[in-house]
Amino acid sequence: MKKFCFMLFLVGLMLPEIATAQTVGNYNPRRVFPRNAQFGLGVLPGLGAQAGIVFPYEIVTVEAMGQLNFTPAYRNHETAFHLSASVGGAIRVLSLINQVNEPINQNLDIDVGFRVGPQLKIPADLKLKVEPFLRAVTRLSSGNQAYFEAGTNEPYLRIGMWVQLN
């Protein structure tokens, strides 16, 4: 299991390079949006907060995220605080389809990705967090973006904003 998690971590670090390595001629992948700060809240079970930075490119995203969440006692689990930091990325499914076909919806995208990094559970337990996630992102009239995300680590459901940094 440790070797598998290590391999996922390496793939996460290499995702931007893998995506840009498949170039033709002088093609250079461009960011669809400026870099963004991501802020969100999570629910089920417990409550959480998420903050980080996202670099959206045409067909991938590269991101670094921090999470803090509180899980109350339920189903024979004790009350716990979780603090984690992770890096990862995602494939932008609708943007990928738009590259091949006529554009479907330029204001909406579906991201499928994963993040990996250390997670500290209080009382003391340090482990490697590997989280696949699915995210829907929509552009708002302000230029910022709203997202809804479902992942495999608590809290499972998250909603928030991407705020442009430049």
Q: How confident is the model at residue 160 (pLDDT cuts 50, 70, 90)?
A: very high
Domain ranges for the chain, please list them: 2-21+31-164
Query: Which residues, 6+ apart, have CB-to-CB distance to 104 below 8 Å?
Result: 94, 97, 98
Q: Is a pLDDT exceeding 60 seen at residue 28?
A: no
Distances (CA, A) of 15 to 47, 111, 115, 149: 30, 14, 11, 20
Q: How confident is the model at residue 4 (pLDDT cuts 50, 70, 90)?
A: low
| pLDDT of res. 148 | 97
Cβ atoms < 10 Å from Cβ of 101: 8
CATH number given to 2-21+31-164: 2.40.160
Cα dihedral 10, 24, 133, 129, rounded to 10, equals 10
Q: How confident is the model at residue 116 (pLDDT cuts 50, 70, 90)?
A: very high
Q: What is the three-class DSSP state of 150? A: strand
Q: Is a pLDDT exceeding 60 seen at residue 29?
A: no
| Buried/exposed 11-47: b ≥16 CB within 10 Å, e otherwise | ebeebbeebeeeeeeeeeeeeebeebebebebeebbe
Give the separation between CA 22 and CA 92, rounded to whole angstroms.
Answer: 16
Q: At 20, list the tokens.
A: 């840009």
Mean per-residue pLDDT over the chain, rounded: 82
User: Between residues 149 and 17, which one has the greater pLDDT?
Assistant: 149
